[in-house]
Structure 1
Amino acid sequence: MKTLIATLMIAAPLLAVGQSAVAQTTPKAKATATKKAVAKKAPAKKGTKAATAAAAGAGAAAVAAGPASAALSAEDLAVSERVFKGRIPCELGAYVNVTADAANPGYFIVDGRGFKYHMSPVKTSTGTVRLEDKAAGAVWLQIANKSMLMNQKAGQRLADECMAPEQQQVAEAIRKNPPPSLLDNK
């Protein structure tokens, strides 16, 4: 009896993880079906440059406009007002473009070399600006002196040491007048 209970306690979390993995693959299948349907509606003949451009443009427009998004709370809208927008340079010559989504107030399109995410603000207890694309697992974190883009599903940073002009000023001020160390005895 004890063995049966122990086996069930071990198997229950594994079943829950499997269920969530199946639930996460369903939206991807729907997105693929939607892209195929948009490509079929293109007026040009298959194989032509116009058909390829129309299909690519329709897919890009769907990502750029973002899916129909839920309305944000007042706290999330307050977070979205503090997001630095524009082309933000990062380390190693990389960059990130952060633009407001005109169709969905408070949402942002975050893109760069090889990635494009539709992100929404998330309130944090520390006051850090956090944008998330939950479907893709991407997170944009913005603190006073730098920003970074991470892909939590892949477990990697996509961009680091990204600094908007305001953040560069804070970083320079920290370099000129470093804060006292927490380890110093005074």
Structure 2
Amino acid sequence: MKTLIATLMIAAPLLAISHSAVAETATKAKAKAVATKKAPAAKKAPVAKKGKAAAAAAVAGGAAVVAAGPASAALSTEDLAVAERVHKGRIACELGAFVNVNADTANPGYFIVDGRGFKYHMVPVKTSTGTVRLEDKAAGAVWLQIANKSMLMNQKAGQRLADECMSPEQQQVAEAIRKNPPPSLLDNK
């Protein structure tokens, strides 16, 4: 029972963050739609075609595949600070899965997150809880990293692509929590 409650306490902030991000994105989209309706019609500038490496998205086997492309904006100092806390390398997940998280050498602060059937070009996003969050807004992918585990979700598809992913640092934290669990908020003293 304590494990269930502890899991819920860890998962609740993550769910709140994802729901607030979805609501914020929807609000921005509505504001943009209203602004474009009110603005006078203007000629659109021609869009330069990008190469195969910068393809927007393709679907392969049900998972989105996004090729890394040039970054559209420089990151703020807060976002760069988040990027420094990201665990990099091949990260083992449950059921024998893995996720590779590597810095994009062409774009400081950006990351290439890939695994079996997916590849995302992600940018760090500052959160109020201190959770490390990487997003690929075009594909709807989110990488969440807390002290003892990480997960990769596809918000557009409404599915978790990888769960219980742990870098060596996260494995140490998870082991410390197993050996010395934090006190439950529901236990009376």
Tell me the TM-score normalised to structure 2 length. Answer: 0.67
Match of 2:147 in 1: 144
Partners of 1:83 and 1:95 lie apart in 2 by 16
Match of 2:101 in 1: 98
Kept after mapping to 1: 8 A contact 2:53/2:67: no
What is the DSSP-based 3-state SS (H/G/I as helix, E as strand, rest coil) of the residue aligned with 1:181?
Answer: coil
Match of 1:167 among 154, 166, 170: 170
Question: Aligned pairs, how many?
Answer: 138
Partners of 1:169 and 1:95 lie apart in 2 by 18
Kept after mapping to 2: 8 A contact 1:69/1:104: no
Deviations 1:1-38 (A, max 9, x none): xxxxxxxxxxxx9xx5xx69xxxxxxxxx89x634699
What is the DSSP-based 3-state SS (H/G/I as helix, E as strand, rest coil) of the residue aligned with 2:187?
Answer: coil
Partners of 2:140 and 2:122 lie apart in 1 by 10
Match of 1:111 in 2: 114
Task: Give percent identity, aligned residues only.
Answer: 85
Match of 2:67 in 1: 63
1:81/1:36 CA distance change after superposition, 3 Å: closer
Kept after mapping to 2: 8 A contact 1:98/1:109: yes
- Matches for 1:8-157 after TM superposition, within 5 Å: 34-35=50-51, 63-64=67-68, 66-157=69-160
Kept after mapping to 2: 8 A contact 1:86/1:97: yes
5+ residue gaps in structure 1? 1-12, 21-29, 39-59
> With CA pairs under 8 Å and 6+ residues apart, which has the higher RCO, 1 or 2?
2
Kept after mapping to 2: 8 A contact 1:139/1:149: yes
Deviation at 1:68, TM superposition (A): 2.9
1:97 maps to amino acid: N
Deviation at 1:157, TM superposition (A): 0.2
What is the DSSP-based 3-state SS (H/G/I as helix, E as strand, rest coil) of the residue aligned with 1:168?
Answer: helix
5+ residue gaps in structure 2? 1-26, 35-46, 55-64
Deviation at 1:67, TM superposition (A): 2.3
Deviation at 1:185, TM superposition (A): 1.2
Tell me the TM-score normalised to structure 1 length. Answer: 0.68
Kept after mapping to 2: 8 A contact 1:79/1:121: yes
